[in-house]
Each structure stands twice: as structure tokens, then as C-alpha cells.
Amino acid sequence: MVKYVLKRIGFLILTLFLVASITFFLMKLLPGTPFNNPKIPADQIAQLKAQYGLDKPVWQQYLVYILGVAHGDFGTSYQFTGQTVSYLISSRVGPSLQLGAQAMVVGTLLGILLGAVAAIRKNTWVDSVATIFAIIGRSIPNFVFAALLQYFVAYKWGLAPVALWEDGFSSSVLPTLALAMAPLANTARFMRTEMVDVLSSDYIELARSKGDSKWQVVARHALRNSMIPIVTIIGPMAVDLMVGSMVVENIFAIPGIGEQFVKSITTNDYPVIMGLTVMYCFMLTVVILIVDILYGFIDPRIRLSGEAN
């Protein structure tokens, strides 16, 4: 087990290194820097380039960058003079994590509920309604959903703050809902198929033949067995949330890393783009690693065979 985790962490570091390197060279291929503005005099550009180390040969820049990344230093932002990328990210990661976590919890719980109900009432109107709901959730782009929520719920009906991150929890309600849509739809779909499978399995029939009522079967046997595999879609769900946060934070003007990422793209703030790319990659690989380890703990079949090895 320990060996396995160490191996995975090694691969994680290698992945991060490769991603950081590839991002670096991609950025070097870029047509311009923010200093290509014709209004800035040439000597000032030279000075700026020196300040950011852009006058050195590429391989030197690369070494400096990679060594920096290894220490958590992603350089300085072009856009916000003097601010380090690490500071920028760390000051903005809070709201993003909060939104992401809330959306993950809301999405998974509601998704499990919806999927389970659909599976138990398979081929009835309940199933159809749940399935249609899940498919619609999958088909509405999150930014459209966010914009509609903002217009109707906040602007028209005044039920929640329209934007910004100033009213504590109530500011997070609409963005959380907008973000939770995709995980909800995916979990519901996944849960339904898993549960339909489980409900038709032999051990459920055996449980019924023991005298379990329909609901006892669900509560004691079916739910747990169909919920375990949901752990495996947490990785893709995290991707959805990261991508979703870029637009949702933008629409609701939330000072998170997603909003920052989009802003940096439009202002060509390469150090921040690179830093955030590595950051996203780091978060995703860590989530996947945790999920894999967690899976081994939840599923007795994997847990015990792991111990035996």
C-alpha cells in the first residue's frame, strides 16, 4: 500500500514537471507579451524585460522557472505589478475551493438521491422525470444556467445577491447551484445505472428471499453497493467544477482563481496562466490520487486484497 502510494506520488511529480515544462515552452511560442504595446518606449520595454528576466536565453529562463516552481514560486504577474503569482493564487483560492466543495456536496447528494429514486421506480413516470431532469442538467451549458439563474432568481425576483462575494454564504448560493448542475446530472445518471445493476443482482434477490422488504433491501444492501463506485467519478467531476468555475465566477464576479484565469487570458498575463495551469493540474492529480486511495478503503474487496499483497 505504502509502496503504491509512493509510486503514485512519484508519477504525480513527474506529471507536474512535464505540464510545467510544456506550458512554459508553449508560452514561449506565443506571439507577444503585454509589453508589445507601441505606446511604451523601447528603453522602457528593455527595462521591463530585464525586470522579468525575459532578456536571458530561453534555457536559462526555463531553469529559473522550473526551479522556482519546485519551490512554489511561479514568478511575478505582468498585470499586477509587483504581485507574485503564488500570492495572487493563494489569496483567491479560498472562494473557489468553497464553491467547489459546496457544489460537489450538493451535486453528489442530490444526484445520488435522484439516481436512486429513478432506479427504484425504474420505468415509471418518476424514472422518466428524474432521467429528463438529469439529461437537461447535462445539456444546459453551465454559463447559460448561471446567467439565467442570475437574471431570474437574483435580478428579477431578488431572492439572492446578483453578484460579488460580499454577503457571505448567501453570495455563494447561486454560483453553487450553477456549478452543482453538472455533477448532479452526472451522479444521477451514474447512480441510476449502478443501482439498476445492483437491484437486479443475485444478492439483492437473496436479501429479498430473507424477508427484507423492498425498502429494507434498498437501505441495507442496494444503496451502499451502488454508492461505492460513485467515488470513481469524483475525478471527472473535479474537472467539471474547475472548468465551470471559470465562467461561473466570471458571471457572478467572484474573486476566485477561475475568474482570475479568464482575466489573465484576456490580458496575456502569462506567468499567472502558467501558474494556474500547474495549479489546476496539481489539484486534479491530487484529487484522483485521494480518490484511488479512498476507493481502496471503502470497498472491502480492494481493501483486503491490498493488505494481503
Partner 1 sequence: MDRILDVKDLAIDFATFAGPVHAIRHVNFHLDKGETLAIVGESGSGKSVTMRTVMGLLANNASITSGEVLLEGDDILKKSEKEMSAMRGNDVAMIFQDPMTSLDPTMTIGKQVAEPLLLHNDISKKAALKEAVRTLELVGINDAESRLNDYPHQFSGGQRQRIVIAIAIINHPKILIADEPTTALDVTIQAQIIHLLKDLQTKIDTAIIFITHDLGVVAGIADRVEVMYAGKIIEYGDVDEVFYNPQHPYTWGLLEAMPTLETKRSRLFAIPGTPPDLLDPPKGDAFAPRNPFAMQIDTEQEPPFFQVSPTHFAATWLLHPDAPKVDVPDEIKRRWGIWAAKHPAKEAD
Partner 2 sequence: MADSKIKLSPDAFKPAHVSADEKEKIATPALTFTQDAIRRLKQNKAAIISFWILVFIFAVSIITLFVSPHNPNTQNLNYTYLPPKWGNLNIPFFNGKQGGVDMYAQNNVPKGVYFLLGTDYLGRDLLSRIFVGTRISLEIAVIATFFDLVIGVGYGIISGWKGGTTDTIMQRVIEIISSVPNLVVVILMLLVFKPGMTSIIVAIAITSWITMARLIRAQTLQLKDQEFILAARTLGESSWKIAIKHLVPNLSSTIIIQTMFTIPTAIFFEAFLSYIGIGLPAPTASLGTLLNDGQKALQTQPYLLVYPAIVIVVLMLAFNLLADGLRDAFDPKSSH
**Which residues are near partner 2 by CB under 8 A?**
11, 15, 18-19, 23, 26-27, 29-31, 135-136, 138-141, 143-144, 147-148, 150-151, 155, 190, 193, 239, 242-243, 246-247, 250-251, 261-262, 265-266, 268, 273, 277, 280-281, 284-285, 288
- Is 223 or 239 the residue whose CB approaches partner 1 more closely? 223
Sign of the torsion formed by the C-alpha atoms of 294, 297, 303 and 308: positive
Binding mask 207-246 for partner 1 (x = CB under 8 A): xxxxxxxx-x---xx--xx--x------------------
On whether the CB atoms of residues 258 and 245 are closer than 8 A, the answer is yes
Of residues 68, 71, 70, the one with CA closest to residue 52 = 68
Of residues 180, 204, 195, 200, the one with CA closest to residue 227 = 195
- Is 148 or 206 the residue whose CB approaches partner 1 more closely? 206
On whether the CB atoms of residues 308 and 46 are closer than 8 A, the answer is no
Phi then psi for residue 44, to 5 deg, are: -65, -40
**Helix crossing, 257-266 with 234-251: angle to 10°?**
60
* DSSP tag of 151: I
Q: Does 297 bind partner 1 (CB under 8 A)?
A: no
**Near partner 1 by CB under 8 A: residue from 151, 152, 203, 297:** 203
Burial of 137 per CB tally in 10 Å (0-12, 13-18, 19+): buried
- Is 225 or 264 the residue whose CB approaches partner 1 more closely? 225
Binding residues for partner 1, rule CB under 8 A, total 24
221 interacts with, out of partner 2, partner 1, none, CB within 5 to 8 A per kind: partner 1
- Binding segment for partner 1 (CB under 8 A), chosen from 19-27, 160-168, 203-211, 282-290, is 203-211
Q: Does 304 bind partner 1 (CB under 8 A)?
A: yes
